[in-house]
Amino acid sequence: MNHKEIMLTALKGGVPERVPCFFSSGQVNIAEPLGDSPPFGQPFGVDAYGAPQAASQSGAGFFTPDTTKPPAITDITKWKEQAVFPDFSGIDWTQVYEGVKQFMHLDRDAFVQDFYCGNGIFERLHFNLGFENALVAVLEEPEAVYEYVGAVADKKIEAVKIVAQYFKPDVFTYLDDYAHVGGLFFSKDVFRKIFKPHIKRIVDAVKETGMIYKQHSCGKMEDLFDEFYDIGVRCFDPVQPVNDIAAMKAKHPGEVCFMGGLDIQHVVDRDGVTEEELRAETRRCIDAYAPGGGYIIFGASISMYDPEAFMPGNKIGIIIDECARYGAGKG
């Protein structure tokens, strides 16, 4: 089995012949024209949904909301008047894909192709209203929030169809963070009433294309695991170790894939981390999470966007090497 076959086995909840590592088995696909960020290569700008964003050093140069600018939507009850949405018509998506393929050196035969769809419906809500205003709106104007995030979900479903037709990835990763390191941003009841129905529509749309749906949600999101499972989600990342990953795996053995586990904050991205610490962390993950299959070594490290980090002896290179050594014959 090559890297791609091994990772696909784990993505489907199976037991591969060795523990796969996303850093050596997968390739990220992105498409700037989907409008989730301003054009790449500039320090700040406005995305296609109207949100001001600025490149963040802590985010490896990726865009985050520009809090020095007023929000795109000042009143959620007036979202129909204030919101803007990207127009996907008139774009040569074949050319877009060819550009991404060349720039990212994509090889669909050797590596799992993982399309990253940024800024899901909750993230879009707080990108456009501001974080505090978004949480207030969820409590005070739930109907208006439900309508707005539903309109965003409609756009995401448009994006799903475009990605399936032109990029043809193995995996469609929908990025939407619902938690911090201590727990959820809001109650499970709020999630069920406002966000879950629209996420289900996106999940269904992805599955209809034959792509694997993967839910990205940072933080301690384990309290939403059952909710996601209920709507058909079977793959998760980055599944940070603040979650009880072993307990989540035990609920549905052989059905769910957990791509993550690495302690990014305290180990991988820590200044001065040693090679032995990186190797020990990789072994810890394999011992704790790999038994029974459905596990892929990963962590949302800022180093994953630095080609130098993949060289032998550098951070990601060390993790890849230790996974290959220690993960052989384990699953």
Task: Tell me which amino acid residue 290 is.
Answer: A
The strand pair at 112-117 and 26-29 is best described as parallel
Separation between Cα atoms, residue 100 and residue 121, nearest integer Å: 25
What does the pLDDT read at residue 40?
80
The neighbour count for residue 314, using CB atoms within 10 Å, is 17
Q: Which of 27, 33, 305 is nearest to 168 (CA)?
A: 27
Q: List CB contacts of 129: < 8 A, sequence separation 6 or more.
A: 71, 72, 73, 74, 76, 137
Strand duo 235-237 + 212-216: pairing = parallel
Could you tell me the pTM of the whole model? 0.95
Which class is domain 26-257? alpha beta
Percentage of the chain surpassing pLDDT 90?
92
Task: Give 251-254's long-range contacts (Cβ < 8 A, gap of 24+).
Answer: 251/225, 251/226, 252/13, 253/292, 253/294, 254/13, 254/14, 254/292, 254/293, 254/294
Count of C-beta atoms within a 10 Å radius of residue 274 = 11
Sequence-separated (6 or more) residues with CB below 8 Å from residue 186: 135, 138
pLDDT in tens, 45-82: 999 999 999 987 666 667 889 999 999 999 999 999 99
Please say whether the dihedral angle defined by the alpha carbons of residues 171, 174, 180 and 183, taken in this order, is positive or negative: negative
- For the residues 197-223, what does the mean pLDDT come to? 98
Of 247, 252, 241, the closest CA to residue 297 belongs to 241
* Reported confidence tier of residue 296, pLDDT bands at 50, 70, 90: very high
pLDDT greater than 90 at residue 305: no
> Per residue in 5-25, pLDDT tens?
999 999 999 999 999 999 999
- Over the stretch 260-275, which tens digit does the pLDDT of each residue have? 999 999 999 999 999 9
Q: Where are the domains of the chain?
A: 26-257
Q: Taking all residues of the chain, what is their mean pLDDT, rounded to a whole number? A: 95
Query: Which residue matches tokens 């999630």?
Result: 191
* Measured distance CA(67)–CA(317) in Å, rounded: 35
Mean pLDDT, range 238-258, rounded to an integer: 97
Query: What does the block give as tokens for 280?
Result: 């020990």
Supply the Cα-derived Rg of the chain in whole angstroms: 19
pLDDT in tens, 101-135: 999 999 999 999 999 999 999 999 999 999 999 99
Please enumerate in sequence order all residues whose Cβ is within 8 A of that of 313, keeping only pairs 6 or more positions apart, or say none.
275
Tokens in use for 296? 């892929």
